[in-house]
Structure formats: C-alpha cells, structure tokens
Structure 1
Amino acid sequence: MHPAIQDLSPAQQARLIHLEMNLRFMGGFSRHVLADEQGMHGNAITRDIKIYRTIAPDNLLYDVTAKHYRITDRFSPIIEVEPSRALAWLTHRQGRGDGMPSAIGVPFSAPLLLCQPSTDTIASISRAIHGQHPILIEYESLRERSERVIVPYALVNNGLRWHVRAYDRKARQFRDFVLTRILCPQVLTREKMEPYEQSHLDAAWSNSVELKLVPHPDRPRPEVTRLDYGMSEGPMTVTLRWAEVGYTLRQWNVDCSADHHMKGVENRLWLANHEVLDAIPNALLAPGFKGSTGDAVIATDQ
C-alpha cells in the first residue's frame, strides 16, 4: 500500500481501495457508482477523488462528455491486491453473468488454488469484459505459443483454476482460455465486440442440460451418500451450462461410465443419464465417459 494511504483513517482507506478496484478492474467509475455502492454523498466523493488524484495523478482522467473517470495507459496501482481477493471482489460484485449482483461485504473463503493468475491479467480481462472490448493476448497452449485476439465475456472457476470464456477471432469459435496461460494482455479499447461474438450465440454457454445423479450402484450404504448430498429417494437433478459440465463432473468425481465400472473410493456418485453427455463438447473431461462410438474419450487441453 502507498505510504500516503497508510496515514488515512481505515474508512478512507477502504473507500480509496474500492475506488481503485473500480478503476483497475472495471476500467473506470462515475460519481453515482461510488455513491450507490458506498452510500456516499457528493462532498465525500469529491474529497476521496481529490486525495486519490493527489497520490496518483497519472492513474485516471476525467471524460467530461461521459462524466466518467477512466483508467489511463500510465496506470500503476497504489494498492496491492492478491489475485484471490480480486477474483472474490469480481465474482461477488458481478454475480454469475445473469445480470444480478451477488451480496458483498461478507467474508469470502475458497480452497487454495495452486494455479493463481496474475492480478494484472485478471484486471485486463475484467476491463475487457466490462467494456465489451476485444483483448490482444499471447497464449501458451500445450501445443504452442501464439498471438490472438479474443473477446471475453465471463470468468469461470472449474474448481482447480480460473478460465475466461471468450470468442477466439483466430479460431473463429468460442473457447475457454486458462488465465495463467495468458501473457501480455492489451485491452483494445478502440474496438467493440462484433454481433456474432456475443455470449448468447455461444451454444455451450446458452444451452443447459439436466444431469441425474444417484449414489454409486456398487458402493455400500447408499443411504450415507444420500445424507451427504441431501438427496431424496430419487435421483438428484442438477442443471448446468454445457460449458460447465465436464469440469463439474470431474470436480465431483462422478462416475460417468455406462456400466458404472469406476472403483475409486472418491466415486460416490453415478450419472444415471450418462447418454446426455454425447451432445456436450467438453464431456471428454467427465470421469469414465465414453463417446457414442464406445471409445474412451481422452481429455485434451489447448
């Protein structure tokens, strides 16, 4: 934290942190945004902005026409933010992509992620999403390093690492990109997403499937599994986006084989309607799943 901020009261520090979070991760803010989110009045907002501009005059500029403060190309954060905190703030603030914000101001905890993206990458991706801009990246896949322009619209946590769902202009299709593999991101603020790059045209994002989970038929004492998962006597139904299916079933260790042959102690559940996976693009990640040809599907990673 910048030395000048340490001399302020805890309340002022909290407000300046919130101001910079909006600037860094959302690309800017207006006075009414700060008023709505923090319940502040005009004089207090003016004072906080003046303090921030005194400390970091090159970080923001005022757009008179839009009446909006914007991030500059010379931005340098005065408050260090851990990636986990940034992601917690974004996911709690922006919700799950359904237009409804989640509750904020409550403690946030999550299992330790071994794959932590950089805060700067998170900030660039978030600004691109918020502004509906493309972003130029260098991407390290398992095959090669390549430069490409993507149009991101949602952050996705698969339980092990963070992805961004985006339209890939190079491949001309919607894809997942692992945040830790994104290098040198540059938000193309002079460009906007094209109509065909919008999320509602991404079949894997806009389509959902209902999964029917039951206690594994070959495990003893299924009543214990039912208690653990709050299951009734019938199957437990879960509705997921296509884009989430493979990741979620792998995270939950659900046996997705047709003959429930998986023997691991972690496989407490079986996917009773496993045939629905034939239509899911990332079902290759589901434990034990075999395609309609009967061959075991091998998971690949771009």
Structure 2
Amino acid sequence: MSLQLSYDVVQRFYFIELIIFWEGRLTTNHLQQHFNISRSSASKYIQDYLQCYPHSLVYNASKKGYEQTAKFTPTQGLSDLGSYLNITAQSMQSHALNHFTSMASPLVPVQPSKVMGILQALKYKQRIDVGYVSLSSPEFESRIISPHNLVFDGSRWHVRAYCEKNRDFRDFVLTRFNGDCEIEGDALFAQHHDTLWQTILNVSIEPDPRLTPNKAHIIALDHQMTLQPNGLYKRTLQVRAALLLYLLKQLRVDSYQANPAAQQIILSPDCLAELQPYMP
C-alpha cells in the first residue's frame, strides 16, 4: 500500500521504526523525550503508526512496550547504526549517562562562508566561477565548475563537479574554496553526463590469505563476509566508480601491509583486475 504522508508524520514513523529496529522495544517515553511531547500525544503517534501499519507492532504487557512482529518492514536506512546513534542522542537528557561516543573528523571544519555559493549552485543547478587552491596550483585561481553532488569520504567533504579548466568531472575539497563565487548561468553538465558517477563497480573483499583460519573467521565477522562454496570468506560491495578510491581508503586496501594482522583484508584477485582501469 502506497501512503501519502506529510513530512512530520514521516519523521515520527521513522523514529518509531528506528527504536523498534535497534532497541527491540518502543514506549511512549521514547517519543515524549525525543519530540518533547505529552504522554497522550506520544500514544497518538503510536496509534497513527498502527493505523497505517496495523500488523507491524504488538504490545507486550510484560515488557510494557511495543515489539515488532514478523510482518514488520522498516524503511530504508535503519540498518545504519550511525543514524540511530545520532538521532537518539538528540533526545538524551542532560543528566543521563551518555554511553555513545562518536569521533568527529579531526580535519578543519567547513566554513559556511566558503561554500554558500556552491550549495546554491547545487540546489539550482548552476554553473559558477569560484576561487580554488590545489597542490598543483597553490595560489587561488578561478575555476568555472558545474557541481552535481556533495560527497563525504569519511574525513573530508568534496563536491563532484564538471571543471571547465580540465574539461572533465573532478572532485574538489570544500575547504580549498575561498568563498568567492559568481553565477555563470545554468549548469552545462549534470550527473547523468558524469560517466564515472554513473558507473557502478563491484568491490569484493576477503580476509588476507596469510591469516590463520581462526583469525580469518574473526575478520569475516568484522566485515559481514559470508562463507563461499570454495571455503573462503567474501563480501561484495557496490560503489560508484567516481568514489572508488574513497572506499578503498576506508577499507584500508589502498596499500599493502607486510603484517597480515595489520592488512586484515584484501581485494579479491579477480576483483582487483576488474578495478584496475579505475585506479591511479
């Protein structure tokens, strides 16, 4: 059944499903704290959800809360632990024990004044003239770009854009802009013109073959690998070709370690051969 829900209702339902998915039990107290509402309002939020999805939750009197049924089907994104921690942290009371710790990127944060023009260009699909500095050009120089996506690689923010100087799509680090921005009209290129952005690659990883079977099993658990018919563990991830190098760095397979305990995982040999055309 396709439901047309308002933004506020979608946010309420998402929170309900998030708690059920990760904690296994939902109470009105969860909703009261997160939305700063009364108990009666929290009960109404739950009843609204049950009216739309009557077979998803069941009340457990012994646990004094709702639990998911076998027919519970969560929305996308609930498997992301980071989203759960970030959203639930918003409703933690000041006197409560904060038992979640998240390490922010140690790099310089992005200054709004430097990227306002870029954000506007993304929103309105504009072509802009901006000041940018790079390792090859250490002085700020004018770049005319048509941006189409913001990308966070785990430590830094980039904008994916067509660069008229290089006549190709490139990634630009947001902290390297100087904030000067002039609109040059509508963007000449969009993401559907970006071949590497549109190309989806399969990245297969497996435990370093130098590890003992017991250690390989532990590494497989860490990376949600499954045992293959050939007796080896393996997991395949999908990534846009334009973002391949970021993924390889996150997985720490962009370089080879002499110590197998430090290396932990490798790219499957057949996968490595297929990825070569997209690697520097």
Question: What is the TM-score with the length of structure 1 in the denominator?
Answer: 0.54
Unaligned runs of 5+ in 1: 1-35, 40-94, 97-101, 285-302
The 2-side partners of 1:262 and 1:156 are apart by 32
Instruction: Choose which of 260, 264, 270 in structure 1 pairs with 2:266.
Output: 270
Displacement of 1:263 after TM fit?
A: 2.7
Equivalent residue number for residue 203 of structure 2 = 211
Contact 1:256 1:271 in 2 (8 A): no
Contact 2:132 2:177 in 1 (8 A): yes
Q: Does 1:168 align with 2:163?
A: yes
Q: Secondary structure at the match of 2:196?
A: helix
Equivalent residue number for residue 201 of structure 1 = 193
The 1-side partners of 2:263 and 2:180 are apart by 39
Cα 1:140–1:251 change in 2 (3 A) is same
Q: Which amino acid aligns with 1:225?
A: I
Displacement of 1:38 after TM fit?
A: 5.7
Q: How does 1:1-302 map to 2 (within 5 A)?
A: 37=7, 106-107=87-88, 111-144=104-137, 145=139, 146-188=141-183, 191-194=185-188, 197-220=189-212, 221-234=215-228, 235-254=234-253, 262-263=258-259, 265-272=261-268, 273-280=271-278, 283-284=279-280
Unaligned runs of 5+ in 2: 1-5, 10-75, 78-82, 90-101, 229-233
Q: Rg bigger for which structure?
A: 2
Displacement of 1:112 after TM fit?
A: 2.6
User: CA RMSD, aligned part only?
Assistant: 2.8
The 1-side partners of 2:262 and 2:182 are apart by 42
The 2-side partners of 1:227 and 1:156 are apart by 28
Equivalent residue number for residue 54 of structure 2 = none
Question: What is the TM-score with the length of structure 2 in the denominator?
Answer: 0.58
Aligned residues: 180
Q: Secondary structure at the match of 1:160?
A: coil
Contact 1:125 1:152 in 2 (8 A): yes
The 1-side partners of 2:146 and 2:195 are apart by 16
The 2-side partners of 1:139 and 1:215 are apart by 41
Displacement of 1:126 after TM fit?
A: 1.4
Contact 2:147 2:190 in 1 (8 A): no
Provide Cα deviations, 1:72-125, integer angstroms capped at 9, x if missing partner: xxxxxxxxxxxxxxxxxxxxxxx99xxxxx99x935866334132212233322
Contact 1:256 1:274 in 2 (8 A): no
Cα 1:166–1:263 change in 2 (3 A) is same
